[in-house]
């Protein structure tokens, strides 16, 4: 039995997972995945941060989602966000989200009615096995796994639930994702450029780390100012607020816990994306050169994206 699926079944029934085999490998060559993202995955598998809470977000500094779904809390439309030259991302074209496995039938009807024909899934094979896709046949799913490496989920789950957060380091950037998972993001951008402007949803488990980086690169390629990119990135904290607080409350009942660190693990910080840009600039000199060298977005490809997705 798949170790991840078995862990999901145990913790979703409220049990304590037994120690699984160490050295679990991911499906993609993404290297060691940021611990903050791993924590989100472990808790999502445990049912702590994956239960639907609706998509009603608190007020944020970017345009509110025009389409909402019940089964994904961190779902939102990038439509309406302004670029530096005064254009805007077309509404109903580019959606970002957390895990879609809990979408209701009505949710899927909403997406189909919007014209969504493609789901891009950045989750690892282990995550997919734990929470299989549920999209209707008329919607294509493109799997671009950005995986996990050398992770003992049972041990991490126990550390979190016991409030033992000292051993878990919060990364200051997504530099590893930016440099080691670029092949998967390159494939995604190639599909966007060649897809003729088809409405799509891209997602991972919590919709904040792998998806957050993806959204930041997409908006940058479309010409959105970096300050706006940062505001949209941290908006995940608003969409996930209720989910995070439920998780903190549940762990608090088990004993003392560093609630500030736990909230940081479950959310995002602007500093993480700011430092990611510094990593990119240190390697490539500029974000534009990174987009071209690592993600295949030269000037012609960026212009094509803007023709397809801006108004």
Tens digit of each residue's pLDDT (9 = 90 or more) over 30-79: 334 555 566 666 666 555 544 433 333 333 444 445 788 999 999 999 99
User: Tokens for 117?
Assistant: 């024909």
Under DSSP, the state recorded for 90 is P
Distance of CA 12 to the CA centre of its chain: 22
pLDDT digits (tens, 9 = 90+) for 150-170: 556 567 677 777 777 876 777
- pLDDT band of 265, cuts 50, 70, 90: confident
CB 41 within 8 A of CB 266: no
CB 234 within 8 A of CB 228: no
> Does residue 17 sit in helix, strand or coil?
coil
Instruction: Please report the DSSP string for 127-179 in residue order.
Output: HHHHS-----TTSEEEE-----EEE-HHHHHHHHHTT--TT-PPPS--HHHHH
CB 193 within 8 A of CB 300: no
Percent of the chain at pLDDT exceeding 70 = 76
The reported pTM is: 0.82
**Structural domains in the chain plus CATH codes:** 3-309 (3.90.190.10)
């Amino acid at each position: 039995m798949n170790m991840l699926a078995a862990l999901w079944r145990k913790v979703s029934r409220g049990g304590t997972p037994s120690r699984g085999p160490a050295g679990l490998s991911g499906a993609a060559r993404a290297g060691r995945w940021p611990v903050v993202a791993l924590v989100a995955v472990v808790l999502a598998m445990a049912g702590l941060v994956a239960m639907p809470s609706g998509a009603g977000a608190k007020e944020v500094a970017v345009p509110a989602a025009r389409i909402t779904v019940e089964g994904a809390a961190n779902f939102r439309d990038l439509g309406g966000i302004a670029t530096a030259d005064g254009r805007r991302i077309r509404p109903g074209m580019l959606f970002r989200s957390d895990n879609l496995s809990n979408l209701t039938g009505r949710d899927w009807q909403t997406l189909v009615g919007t014209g969504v024909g493609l789901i891009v899934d950045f989750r690892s094979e282990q995550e997919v096995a734990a929470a299989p896709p549920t999209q209707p046949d008329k919607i294509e799913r493109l799997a671009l796994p950005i995986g996990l490496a050398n992770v003992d989920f049972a041990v991490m789950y126990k550390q979190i639930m016991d409030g033992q957060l000292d051993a878990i380091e919060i990364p200051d950037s997504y530099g590893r994702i930016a440099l080691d998972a670029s092949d998967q993001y390159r494939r995604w951008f190639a599909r966007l450029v060649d897809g003729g402007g088809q409405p799509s949803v891209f997602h991972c488990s919590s919709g904040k780390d792998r998806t957050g980086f993806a959204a930041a690169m997409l908006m940058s390629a479309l010409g959105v100012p970096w300050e706006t990119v940062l505001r949209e990135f941290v908006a995940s904290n608003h969409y996930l607020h209720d989910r995070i607080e439920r998780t903190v409350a549940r762990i608090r009942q088990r004993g003392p816990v560093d609630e500030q660190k736990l909230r940081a693990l479950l959310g995002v910080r602007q500093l993480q994306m700011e430092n990611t840009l510094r990593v990119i600039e240190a390697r490539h000199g500029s974000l534009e050169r990174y987009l071209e060298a690592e993600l295949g977005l030269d000037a012609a490809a960026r212009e094509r994206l803007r023709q397809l997705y801006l108004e």
